[in-house]
Amino acid sequence: MKRFNAKLKNDTHVKIFSSDSELEKINFYSIPNIENEVEYNFNTKLENDEWFFVNLSSEQISSMIDEYKTSITWSWELNKITKDNYDDIEVCYLVEDNKIIFTKIIKSYFVRSTKFLWFSDLWPEIIEQQNSITFNWQVDVYFDGTNKLYFKSYTRAKSIFDWLSDFYRTASQEEVNTFLEKDFFVIKDNFDKSKLWDRLHKNIAKIIDDNNINFTDLEVRTKYNNYATTFLWENIQINQEWKFEIEKNKDLTNVVKLLQWHYYLDYIDPEKKMETNFSKPLNN
């Protein structure tokens, strides 16, 4: 069974296309061919042909996926989408058997009213378009029908499935404040701790949870300072007391990457600094 539905802001599901003739109109919107998969890590950067995946537990499938399956099983009970639903569309999704693809409908996709100069075989015409959504082939999330959820962008996927935050804990504001109060850092007066990037919250949580970096050990601190001068001397400010100075998000990002041992030298080109996708604290 194949259906194309939408989920509205009030969590209601509505039918868009259900007949074969209707579904044929969106044959460009199809299940992706995933040949290269990478288990999700927020420090990993995907290549163009790669997809992140996470393995969902039965509880997560029940919470995240089942409502979409149910909307197909009981599709005869769903209302057909109407013009009144236009402003409330959050997600469009296609179900094919147990497999589901999702597209998050973001603000920029909405077309309230616009005019096009259309060139027909006979003569140009002006066409006015209202209450439309720019819809193309982009798939934001794909559920493979068993237990894997695939996506390219964590941020876009999380806007559909908030449960994804369970896969990587985010440091609370209190934890961030405690972390930055360590004697390791000098925080400038104009630095706003409450406006850290989401990725920083996740990486700080990872450092806190690992418990591998002894910030009070002078030898460990010396190793990190030497490491910083080797790799990131142009991007990290260190004062005379060998403390890291933090003035903006980018400063903290570089220090956090340093603490997670993200950099090494390319020995073919010693001037080139490379970034890894793993953490290896320098305690030993």
In the prediction, which pLDDT does 265 show?
Answer: 54
Q: Mean pLDDT in runs of 10 for the chain (284 residues)?
A: 91 91 90 92 83 92 89 77 93 92 92 87 86 87 96 91 78 89 88 86 81 72 78 72 87 84 55 47 42
Burial class (CB in 10 A: 0-12, 13-18, 19+), 83: exposed
Whether pTM exceeds 0.85: no
In the prediction, which pLDDT does 272 show?
Answer: 46
In the prediction, which pLDDT does 212 show?
Answer: 64
In the prediction, which pLDDT does 280 show?
Answer: 42
Residues 6+ apart with CB under 8 A from 174: none
Rounded Cα–Cα distance for residues 77 and 275 (Å): 52
In the prediction, which pLDDT does 246 show?
Answer: 92
Encoding tokens for residue 80?
Answer: 């057909």
Rounded Cα–Cα distance for residues 49 and 26 (Å): 23
Domain extents in the chain: 2-167, 173-275
